[in-house]
Amino acid sequence: MIEFHLDERSGVPPYLQIVQQVQQALRLGLLGVGDRLPTVREVVEQLVINPNTVLKAYRELEHQELVVSRPGQGTFVIRTLGPVSLASHATLRRSLTRWLENAREAGLDEESIVALFNATLWESRLQESEGTA
Partner 1 sequence: MSMALELQNLSKRYGRKWALRDWTMKLPTGHVVALVGPNGAGKTTLLQLAAGLLKPSAGEVRVFGCDPHKQTREILPRVGFVAQDHPLYKRFTVADLLTMGRKMNPRWDQRIAEERLTMLDIPLQQRAGKLSGGQQAQVALALALAKRPDLMLLDEPLASMDPLARRNFLRVLMGETAEHGLTVLLSSHIIGDLERVCDYLIILSDAHVQLAGDIDEIIRTHKRLVGPRTLAAAVARIHDVIEERHGERQTTLLVRINGHLFDQSWEMHDVTLEEIVLAYMGQLAQYQRMETIPMPLSMRDGFPCEESEERIRRETPR
Is residue 11 near partner 1 by the rule CB under 8 A?
A: yes
CA dist 58 → 95, 113, 114 (Å): 34, 34, 31
> 3-class SS at 76?
strand
Q: Smallest distance from the beta carbon of 128 to partner 1, in angstroms?
A: 13
Is 99 one of the binding residues for partner 1 (CB under 8 A)?
no
Q: Is the CB of 10 or the CB of 91 nearer to partner 1?
A: 10
| Those residues with Cβ within 8 angstroms of residue 74's Cβ, 6 or more apart along the chain or in another chain | 36, 37, 39
Q: Which of 19, 37, 54, 61 binds partner 1 (CB under 8 A)?
A: 54
d(CA 34, CA 3): 17
Give the residue among 75, 83, 72 at the shortest CA–CA distance from 29. 83
Range in contact with partner 1 (rule: CB under 8 A) among 26-34, 47-55, 75-83, 86-94: 47-55
Report the interface residues with partner 1, using CB under 8 A. 6, 11, 13-15, 40-41, 44-45, 47-54, 112, 115-116, 118-119, 122-123, 126
